[in-house]
Amino acid sequence: MLGIDLDDPELSLPAHAEIRVLDAFEADPQSLGGPFDLVISDMAPKTSGQRHADQFRSYELVIRALQLGKAVLKPGGSFVAKIFQGAEFEEARSALREVFGKVRTIRPDATRDESYELFLIGLGFEPLNS
C-alpha cells in the first residue's frame, strides 16, 4: 500500500504501508511500483475562497490522479477520487468513462450540507483504452 501527499502526515504505519512526501504533479509513475488493485485520491487544493478557482484546481488534481492511476492500476482495477463539483465536473467524469467499464458518482451521507465535494468512482479499468 502506497500513499503520496505534499505533507508528511507523521503517522505510524504497518509494515506493508508507505507514505511518500511528493507532489502528484511531479511523481514519476514508474517510481510508484504496483500494479495496484485500487487508486484512491482524497487530494484537494488549499481553498482560496474563490470557488471557481478551487473547483478548477480540484479538477486538475483528479485528472492527475487519473493519469497516475492509468499507469499503475491492474486491468479490472478501481479508482476513487474526490472532486469539488464545478464547471469541469462532466469533463472529469468523461475522462473516467474512457477507461473504466462503469463510472459512478457518490455524495457520502456524512458530507456536510454546504460542501460541494463529490466522489467519482471508476470500476473495471480497461488499460487498452488508456
Binding residues for ligand SAM, rule: CB under 6 A, are 4-7, 23-25, 42-44, 61
Q: Bridge-partner residues for 123, per DSSP?
A: 102
How far apart (Å, rounded) are the C-alpha atoms in residues 49 and 37?
A: 35
To ligand SAM, the closest distance from the beta carbon of 129 in angstroms equals 25
**Least distance between ligand SAM and beta carbon 17 (Å):** 13
Determine whether 74 is an active site residue: no
Closer by beta carbon to ligand SAM, 4 or else 73: 4
51, amino acid identity: R
Nearer to ligand SAM, 5 or 126 (CB): 5
Out of 46, 70, 82, 102, pick the active-site residue: 82
Residue pair 80/120 in contact by the 8 Å Cβ criterion: yes
Q: CA-to-CA distance for 57 and 50, rounded, in angstroms?
A: 11
Shortest distance (Å) from residue 6 CB to ligand SAM: 4
Choice between 3 and 127, CB closer to ligand SAM: 3
Q: Going by C-beta distance under 8 Å and a sequence separation of 6 or more, which residues neighbour residue 83?
A: 58, 59, 62, 89, 92, 117, 118, 119, 120
Residues assigned a catalytic role: 82
